[in-house]
Amino acid sequence: MRLSIKLILLLYVISTSFIWAQAPLKIYCIDVNTGSSTLIISPTNEYVLIDAGMTNYGASTVYPFLQNLGITHLDYTIATHYHEDHIGGMDEVIYALSSFGSNDSILNWCYDRGDSTPPSNNIYTGYASAAGSKRRVIGLDETLNLGGGAFMFCIARNGTVMNGMSVTPSTGENYRSCAFILVYNNFRFYVGGDLTGNPVSGDPDVESKAARVTGDVNVYVANHHGGRNSSITVFLDSLRPEAAIFSQGTIPSNNNHPHQEAIDRLVAHNTYMYQMNDNLTGGVIPTGHGRILNTTASINVNNTYYTINGDTYQIYGFNGDAGCLSILEPHDTITEGSIITPQALVKNYGTSAMSFIVRFKIGEAYNHIKTIIGLVPNDTIIITFDTAWYATRGNYIVTCSTEVQGDVNTNNDRQVGNLTVAFYDNEVSEILSPSQGQILFYGDTIRPKAIVKDNSEYSNPAQVKIYCLIHNNQVIYLDSLTRIYNPGITDTINFPAMSITPVSEGVYQCSVWVVRNNDLMPSNDYKTVQFIIHDPNGIEWNESSPSPVNNQDFRLVTLKLYNISGRLINTQIFYRSVDNILKQPRHWFKNLASGIYFLHITAIPSDHNSAPFTQTKKIVILPNN
Ligand SMILES: [Zn+2]
């Protein structure tokens, strides 16, 4: 993160007074106009030259630059790739430093991407012959120890990155660029030639694969001079550079680097940009997000801070940074009783593998941790917490946060979400009409009426369907209504009235029930009452009356005796023809108190064809004395 202007100015005063000159590590992005050339001077004065600009710029610009610094040899040269704006001047530098016609000024190696599909032009052959026997293919993850604690390693070459991920070989040259991370204590610097992100003709996306291995850097030399097809978001998400350098020229060309799209993505990553030249036709860095240098970018790296052309940035002592990317479960609305296993997506934004704790909280109801071990830089992991949670109704704030000792950026630690655990329940509280045991006669009117409640909590208004059914052996009434209920409401439902036409006499059931999606308590959804429909002109029957089923041939006769309240007192079943069985009901229904009863008779004829005989009779049991 950038420092306040005040602190920058304070450190600037300090640095310009005495510390600046003593910077142990120096990096120069040499102004070679259109092209790139980066010089690294290690704390022990090892010299690495990465690229050397266009043809003629090696002789006219890079070599004089080295001379000014008193540099008479190079420990390594590196060609990121074989485009002229990178290697055009390299042979000139090698020859200028060396004895006539030799490369003896290169103490170690001239590293490059090797000779797979090289361009067939004299730019390449000129470089290759100057490097001569010093040429070496840079190894992925090969570490160049530059002394004094500075080292650099190659993370990408020929479209393959150091973790083995690679793109399908294509015809482009830019995507084959070698990319490097330079490390000095806690300072990290990226330079990677013209590595591409957004796939373009011949140049596939290597950046998104390299993003998995780069980790956080302080300074980023923008890939491809700030071109729109590089510096893609996922790559910058990994690098998170504080400062970026556009190594580009004054000459308006087809390229017009840097492009606005790349600038905008760097702005989005809060990266301060240094544009080496004003070409009048490239993108524009918004005010406050960078400036045009019109010269070489000079980076002086100390132990705790570094400067870029006088601007000072702090170097943090620890680059460990992990955070929670998102809460996967639970979220939004769930129902009470759900068994929840919290899940979250966690990322290591740091530069080394980390072990740390992740904490998950659901209000005050759940608070558990999960330990992550050895999550590699830039990797994400879905974690599932070991303890499950039985969801109880309520509104909760859900948080997931990483707990990293000395986390350099705590802003990305925590994700917060809202959770509603809703309880859904509608019940039929009571059937008011018909009442239990009510006796209705032909010609009466039934007005079914019931009380329905919505017992839901933390729920939105919901649609509920309410049914009423009246039946004995046959359905004589069925109606339904739809209501929208708010939680907590009590409603009295009046179903349409119905006039009782002559139907079978007998005991009827009136049932009322509710149907609601996700109702969590089905046991209270249904209520029923029994009532009697009677023929006012029907036979009043007593022990001296002739049996209604007398002398007929029935297979099965069921007698159900109800009291005046409609409650079932007794059931008798006869599996045979009956004769005179009803002559003495006291005999079949023992210990009956005197009073009025209703006897419901169902008799199934033996012939299998005739309809069942049903009848309800009022019985008067006289006092037994
Ligand atoms: Zn280039």
3-state secondary structure of 311: strand
Cα of 568 from ligand 1 centre, angstroms: 97
Q: Compute the distance from residue 531 Cα to the ligand 1 centre, in Å.
A: 94
Centroid of ligand 1 to alpha carbon of 172 (angstroms): 12
The yes-or-no verdict on residue 24 having pLDDT over 80 is yes
Pick the CATH number of 540-621 from 3.40.1620, 2.60.40, 3.40.50, 1.10.155: 2.60.40
Q: How far is ligand 1, taken at its centre, from the CA of residue 37, in Å?
A: 10
Lowest mean pLDDT among 117-121, 329-333, 547-551, 592-596: 547-551
Q: Does the pTM exceed 0.75?
A: no
Task: Compute the half-sphere exposure of residue 323: CA atoms within 13 Å on the CB side of its CA.
Answer: 19
Give me ligand 1 centre to Cα 86, in Å: 6
Confidence of residue 17 (pLDDT cuts 50, 70, 90): very low
Q: Is the pLDDT of residue 277 over 80?
A: yes
Between the CA of 68 and the centroid of ligand 1 the distance, in Å, is 25
Residue 177 Cα to ligand 1 middle (Å) = 10
Cα–ligand 1 centroid distance for 254 (angstroms): 12
Amino acid 10: pLDDT: 42
Q: How far is the CA of 248 from the centre of ligand 1 (A)?
A: 9
Q: How far is the CA of 195 from the centre of ligand 1 (A)?
A: 9
Compute, in angstroms, the gap from residue 54 CA to the centroid of ligand 1.
9
Distance 304 CA to ligand 1 centre (A): 32
pLDDT tens-digit series, residues 517-538? 889 999 999 999 988 887 766 5
Confidence of residue 513 (pLDDT cuts 50, 70, 90): very high
Task: For residues 549 and 604, give the distance between their C-alpha atoms in angstroms, rounded to a whole number.
Answer: 11
pLDDT at res. 74: 98
- What is the CATH architecture of 426-534? Sandwich (2.60)
Convert the pLDDT of each residue in 201-260 to its tens digit. 899 999 999 988 787 889 999 999 999 999 999 999 989 999 999 999 988 766 789 999
The topology under which CATH files domain 322-422 is Immunoglobulin-like (2.60.40)
Q: Residue 78 Cα, ligand 1 centroid: separation in angstroms? A: 14
Residue 120 token pair:
């067939």
**5-17+25-314, CATH topology level:** Metallo-beta-lactamase; Chain A (3.60.15)
State the distance from the centre of ligand 1 to the C-alpha of 7, rounded, in angstroms: 35
Question: What count of Cα atoms within 13 Å lies in the side-chain half-sphere of residue 146?
Answer: 27
Kindly report, residue by residue over 367-395, the tens digit of the pLDDT: 998 877 667 788 899 999 989 999 999 99
Measured in Å, residue 349 CA sits from the centre of ligand 1 at 29
Q: Is the pLDDT of residue 19 over 50?
A: no
Cis omega (within 30 of 0) for bond into 434: yes
**Is there a shared CATH topology between the 426-534 domain and the 540-621 domain?**
yes
How close is the Cα of 34 to the center of ligand 1, in Å?
8
In terms of phi and psi (left: phi > 0; alpha: psi -120 to 50; beta: otherwise), the region of 608 is left
Distance 2 CA to ligand 1 centre (A): 28
**Number of neighbouring beta carbons within 10 Å of residue 272:** 20
Task: Report the separation in Å between the CA atom of 487 and the middle of ligand 1, taken as the mean of its atom positions.
Answer: 66
Is pLDDT at 473 greater than 60 in this prediction?
Answer: yes
Q: In angstroms, what is the span from residue 17 Cα to ligand 1's centroid?
A: 37
The length of the chain in residues reads 625
Q: How far is the CA of 94 from the centre of ligand 1 (A)?
A: 20
Q: Ligand 1: distance of its center to the CA of 150 in Å?
A: 26
Q: Give the distance (Å) from ligand 1 centre to CA of residue 79.
A: 11
- Of 384-393, 436-445, 468-477, 611-620, give the lowest mean pLDDT range: 611-620
CB-based contacts of 112, cutoff 8 Å, min separation 6: 78, 79, 82, 127, 131, 135, 136, 137, 138, 178
**Contact between residue 598 and residue 618 where contact means Cβ atoms under 8 Å apart:** yes
For the chain, what are the domain ranges?
Answer: 5-17+25-314, 322-422, 426-534, 540-621
What is the number of other CB atoms lying within 10 angstroms of the CB of residue 620?
A: 12
* C-alpha 467 to ligand 1 mean position (Å): 77
Side-chain half-sphere exposure of 394, counting CA atoms within 13 A: 11
